[in-house]
Amino acid sequence: MFRRQFLKNSALLGASVAAGAPGFFSARAQQASARRIIMAGYGPSTTSFSRGLDFIGEHLEARFGDAVDPRYIYNIYDVGYGGAGDLRWLVDSGVLTLAYSTMSTGIPELEVAALPFLFSDTAAARAAMDGPLGEAASARIEAETNYRVLGFFENGFRHVSNDIRPVHTPADLVGLSIRLLGIQSRTFELLGAEPVTMNLADAIPLLADGTIDGQENPFENTVSYGPYLHQRYHTATFHSYLSRAIFVHRPSFDSWPEDLQTEMRAAVREAVMYQRGLHDEAEVESQRTIREAGGEIVELTPAQRAEFVAAVTPIYADAQTRYSRELLDLVGL
């Protein structure tokens, strides 16, 4: 049953791509002989991630002209799929050429990178992902999937919001239901909240009607995906840093001419730098948008932040037994 539905959905997506899927699908070059490169994500076209995909395509067009045909599905939900999970198997099957996705759960290197309050600032987090930790994560993903990992977009530091009360200390989170990624569940259990692991798109109506009290995300995502419309109180917790792997269908990529492989790698490296800059701008602009919508943003004092850090220390004891010494050494634990 699953396989039949998989093939049906893949055929439908392939037909949409071939036809141009007006309203969902953006295409530039239309040369029949061009090498089609289908790139996809799971956000509005205005996000730093979607604009990063644009950057990749524009780089390739500048180098190869009409010999390449970049195409874009900025938001996989718009063609009937369910987000990051579907992106992964669509690339694995070769229906899509390239996508980005959060892959923290099940990848030890990315699980460690997501540990609460691990990185002191953005520079430290980026250095880790650009260095041995990112290399180890890429190697792990490639060993276990049908992908080539070309880089990591920055999802960035995450913050918590809710529509019940301001959060200044962990005590203020006690009893609040918080929609989150599974990788964050233990953190919020220790902080006293009630974790709700589910797709953000599915959580939006539950945030709107008050079924779920809050959620956690970078400010950019809180605004671009819409939770800010239903959340009054936002706390800049910087509680975890996540990346989104940029990956391609390995058999397709490995069959490309060497110059195209080289330029794709270069395009992704430059797109990561570009996307990071856009994300920095979006974090500032998103806070302005939240305030203009009537939201309040709490900035933690050093003492308040220390309370959050202290509350999650059991996670680090668990990490010592869960992960290898070599991996922990990569992040100085």
Are the C-beta atoms of residues 142 and 253 closer than 8 Å to each other? Answer: no
Count of H helices and E strands in the chain?
Answer: 14, 12
* Helices 258-292/48-64 angle, 10° precision: 150
Amino acid of residue 307: E
- Does this model's pTM top 0.85? My answer is yes
Token pair, residue 145, equals 């999937």
The label of the residue with tokens 């709107």 reads 208
Domains of the chain by range and CATH? 2-103+121-154+243-283 (3.40.190.170), 159-240+285-330 (3.40.190.170)
Sign of torsion over alpha carbons 261, 30, 47, 203: negative
One DSSP character per residue, 207-234 reads HHTTSS-EEEE-HHHHHHSSGGGG--EE
Closest Cα to residue 79, out of 5, 12, 26, 28? 12
Residuewise pLDDT in 10s, the chain (333 residues): 333 343 334 444 554 444 344 444 444 444 457 899 999 999 999 999 999 999 999 999 999 999 999 999 999 988 888 878 899 999 999 999 999 999 888 899 999 999 999 999 999 999 999 999 999 999 999 999 999 999 999 999 999 999 999 999 999 999 999 999 999 999 999 999 999 999 898 999 999 999 999 999 999 999 999 999 999 999 999 999 999 999 999 999 999 999 999 999 999 999 999 999 999 999 999 999 999 999 999 999 999 999 999 999 999 999 999 999 999 999 999
